[in-house]
Structure 1
Amino acid sequence: MKPLLPLLFLALLLSCNHSAQVNPKQQAVINAEPIEVPLQNGKARAYFASGCFWCVEAVYESVKGVDEAISGYAGGHTKNPTYEDSNTGRTGHAEAVEVIYDPKIVSFETLIDVYFASQDPTQVNGQGPDIGSQYRSIIFYQNKAQKNSILKKKTALEKKLGEPVAAEIYPFQKFWKAEDYHQDYERLHPENPYVQNVSIPRLNKFKRKMPEVLKENH
């Protein structure tokens, strides 16, 4: 009977893993119709998740045509998520940013290029030292045209790299703004060890890759 025990354990393990991965509430988010955010005072909004939102916020705020990037949470199935909730990995949310931009100056397609240029596109469930589903990479689309642009650029990058790109593609549903102390964190706390050792190097690496999109004071 001993040879059967490992097989039974393996079958049980696979069964449990399968059950853990299938979350009906999260699947409903993935399958939902996208919500399109209307222009406000001529400004559009786009949503991206790519590891720690302190890092991503700083990257997008360095780009010409971007008025502001706001840290928050998106992509999950719970309402009113907090930083503590998100860190459990059970909400489905990822740390994300809302990018407020002028589409006459910078296009959504360029924002996708910024997204991929400012991260390790092959890292699954995290960026750098930040590991977990709350740090996974997601690009949110608001309509079919945006989805097609994301798919086209992701496919091209996979072909260039010769390996899968980790970014998930979600229909945008809702952005939950993070707590006030997270906003503009890199700019306000340059002495923070994480900012010095992770955020600033990540920003500088991006700047070297896409100097043509940077604001003059960056």
Structure 2
Amino acid sequence: MKYLKLLSLSLFAIAISACNSNGQTGSSKQANQKDLKMDLTPPKGEKVAAFAEGCFWCSEHVFEAVVGVKDVISGYAGGTTLNPTYDLVNTETTGHAESVLVYYDPNVISYAELVKVFFASHDPTTPNQQGPDRGTSYRSILFYQTDAEKQIAMDEIKKISASNMFSNPLVTQLKKLDAFYKAEEYHQDYVNGGKGSMNPYVKSVSIPRYEKFKKTYKGKLKPGA
């Protein structure tokens, strides 16, 4: 997304105003942002996990399709700036990356399986880039909350690195999830909720990426996904 949205549609970009589905500017919406740091305590019977893999519009769409996932929130994580906004994250000065917070049923799907979803749904070999989106806010990050999750992530990284899954080395970062900030409401459920149905970026980048994921992922997807 970001600055490339200001380029021609042939470069899979759209104007920033197109991100604001109700016509408000990003700045006016963000003026209402207060403390959007999420409580990482999940509802009873659920767990949470966070991932950064490029544009959160598509990441949200991907994880929402997986059996066992209860909800997905788009937001920002991995940096140091408090209460980051979309415009601020786009300056690449906050350290945050566009990320998703995934609520899931551990009796149906494991953190290890979500890590597999993560690697099946983006290119973890392109530093600070996913498709046409460039900058540190689009870097690949595997977040963990416990030592057990960290070990699972490390094991998967080693397994993939030793395989022929990707022709280039992985650049995925492994980071402790210290905080997750919810993105502005107009970003939430952007693809599945229909907000981005007429968005050229979604049609040219997000949907093809999602379709590629469906062909690559070997796990279970929800009916109609």
Please classify the TM superposition score into its range, dividing by the shorter chain length.
0.7 to 0.9
**2:213 pairs with 1:206:** yes
Give 2:149's match in structure 1, choosing from 146, 153, 157: 146
What are the Cα deviations for residues 54-95 of structure 1, in whole angstroms up to 9, with x where unaligned? 010000000001011110000001100000110011100000
Q: CA deviation at 1:163?
A: 3.6
Contact 1:48 1:115 in 2 (8 A): yes
Name which of 116, 120, 131 aligns with 1:113: 116
More helix as a share of residues: 1
Where does 1:3-152 land on structure 2 (aligned, <5 Å)? 37-152=40-155
Cα separation, 1, equivalents of 2:112 and 2:102: 13
Unpaired segments of 5 or more residues in structure 1?
Answer: 1-35
What is aligned with 2:171?
166
CA distance in 1, matches of 2:170, 2:218: 23
Shift of 1:209: 1.2
Counterpart AA for 2:79: G
Question: Which deviations, in whole Å up to 9, do the C-alpha atoms of 1:130-154 show, x marking residues without a partner?
Answer: 1000110111100111000101101
Write the letter of the residue equivalent to 1:174: A
Q: Which runs of 4+ in 1 moved over 2 A?
A: 36-39
**TM-score, reference length from structure 1:** 0.81
Provide structure 2 residue ranges, at least 5 long, that are not aligned to the other structure. Answer: 1-38
- Separation in structure 2 between the aligned mates of residue 203 and residue 194 of structure 1, nearest angstrom: 13
Q: Which residue of 2 aligns with 1:178?
A: 183
1:210 CA displacement: 1.7
- Answer whether contact 1:37 1:142 (CA < 8 A) is retained: no
Deviation at 1:39, TM superposition (A): 4.0
Q: Does the 8 Å contact 2:46/2:104 carry over to 1?
A: yes
- The amino acid across from 2:169 in the alignment is P
2:36 equivalent in structure 1: none
What is the CA distance between 1:169 and its match in structure 2?
A: 0.4
- Is 1:217 the counterpart of 2:224? The answer is yes
1:197 corresponds in structure 2 to 204
